[in-house]
Amino acid sequence: MSGWPDVETVGAAVRQAAQSEALPRFQSLQAHEITEKTPGDPLTIADLETERALERSLGALLPGSVMLGEEAVSEDPGRLAALRGDRPCWLIDPIDGTLNYASGVPLFATMVALVAGGEVVAGWIYDCVHDSMATAEKGGGAWLDGERVRLDGEVPLARQAGCLHLSGYDRELAATAARNFDAVGPLLVLHCAGLEYQMMLRGRLHYALYLRTNPWDHAPGQLILAEAGGHSARLDRSPYDVNVIEHPSPMVTAIGQGAWRDLRRVLFGMA
């Protein structure tokens, strides 16, 4: 990346932080090491220590950059205003899928995105349980474990496996999707956006729908998916924006623009 740290160097820092802070604590947490930010939203010592490790290593790689870790932002949401500033920003999700992690379920990831000028220019998604890394830099393609990925956007709708995070949606939209489930393939929810994006790169998942689009949850995956040939937009056709968290229209990510249009028309009943 011109002017930015090398993709592989950042990837090594992400891997090191996850393997030294998150992985050793997995399935070994003590009760006092798990709290809640809000009811049902756990926070563990591993989230905090992994975020701190990444802040140190990423700050050293890019002096003067701004650290926007999920846990720090939860304490001070005003920090996100830096995304629209002049300094490059690191978006850090130390453990995506904390509920799984705290429950001993091996479905979690560490995610990082680099934002410059309000635009996501690079992203990393790391599954430390399986030592699997997805990366992309804008204009440079998407990579999974060292192999370039191009998505097959021609999978028939009836064979497309999807992930629908329907909680919180209006009843009419949820009811429409439920009526049309037989038009698509199997449905699953991993409760870990990072691994859902990785599964799309592997061809095991073909679309996902999200209402909440916290930047640390989606900035890396959105860039990686786009660089692999995928397509994302909200159901009202507005594009993904790293600066927009709450939006009345849910976001659908898909293996291609044609698949996105078919899902909007068939599954959600929109002309």
**Can you give the pLDDT at residue 153?**
86
d(Cα 216, Cα 222) in Å, to the nearest integer?
11
The total domain count for the chain is 2
| One-letter amino acid of 210 | Y
CB 138 within 8 A of CB 223: yes
The CATH number linked to 49 is 3.30.540.10
Tens of pLDDT along 71-111?
999 999 999 999 999 999 999 999 999 999 999 999 999 99
- Band the pLDDT of 168: cuts 50, 70, 90: low
d(Cα 219, Cα 222) in Å, to the nearest integer?
5
The CATH number linked to 238 is 3.40.190.80
Percent of the chain with pLDDT over 70: 98
**Can you give the pLDDT at residue 246?**
83
Q: Judge whether 2 lies within some domain.
A: no
**Can you give the pLDDT at residue 1?**
57
Co-location of 200 and 119 in the same domain: no
Q: Judge whether 168 lies within some domain.
A: yes
Letter string b/e over residues 93-126, b meaning 16 or more CB atoms within 10 A of that residue's CB: bbbbbbebbbeeeebbbbbbbbbbeeebbbbbbb
**Can you give the pLDDT at residue 35?**
93
d(Cα 148, Cα 142) in Å, to the nearest integer?
6
Co-location of 140 and 181 in the same domain: no
d(Cα 109, Cα 101) in Å, to the nearest integer?
9
Co-location of 83 and 23 in the same domain: yes
The sheet with strand 207-210 has its strands ordered as: 162-164, 207-210, 251-254, 231-234
- Band the pLDDT of 232: cuts 50, 70, 90: very high
Q: Judge whether 207 lies within some domain.
A: yes
- Band the pLDDT of 147: cuts 50, 70, 90: very high
Q: Going along 26-118, which residue ranges are E strands?
A: 34-38, 41-44, 66-69, 89-96, 109-116
Tell me the residue range of the domain where 50 lies. Answer: 7-149
**Can you give the pLDDT at residue 247?**
87
Mean pLDDT for 193-219 is 95
pLDDT at 180 over 90: yes
Q: Judge whether 263 lies within some domain.
A: yes
| One-letter amino acid of 191 | H
pLDDT at 69 over 90: yes
Co-location of 97 and 47 in the same domain: yes
Mean pLDDT for 172-195 is 92
pTM of full prediction above 0.75: yes
Co-location of 174 and 252 in the same domain: yes
Tens of pLDDT along 34-67?
998 888 889 999 999 999 999 999 999 999 999 9
- Band the pLDDT of 166: cuts 50, 70, 90: confident
Residue whose entry in the numeric block shows the structure tokens 């990072």: 194
Co-location of 42 and 115 in the same domain: yes
**Can you give the pLDDT at residue 2?**
60
Co-location of 60 and 108 in the same domain: yes
Mean pLDDT for 230-250 is 92
Co-location of 234 and 144 in the same domain: no
Co-location of 136 and 14 in the same domain: yes
Tell me what the pLDDT averaged over the chain comes to: 94
**Can you give the pLDDT at residue 269?**
94
The alpha carbon of 153 is separated from its chain's Cα centroid by a whole number of angstroms, namely 20
Tens of pLDDT along 236-245?
999 999 988 8
Q: What is the dihedral of CA 143, 166, 51, 107, to 10 degrees?
A: -60
d(Cα 47, Cα 102) in Å, to the nearest integer?
10
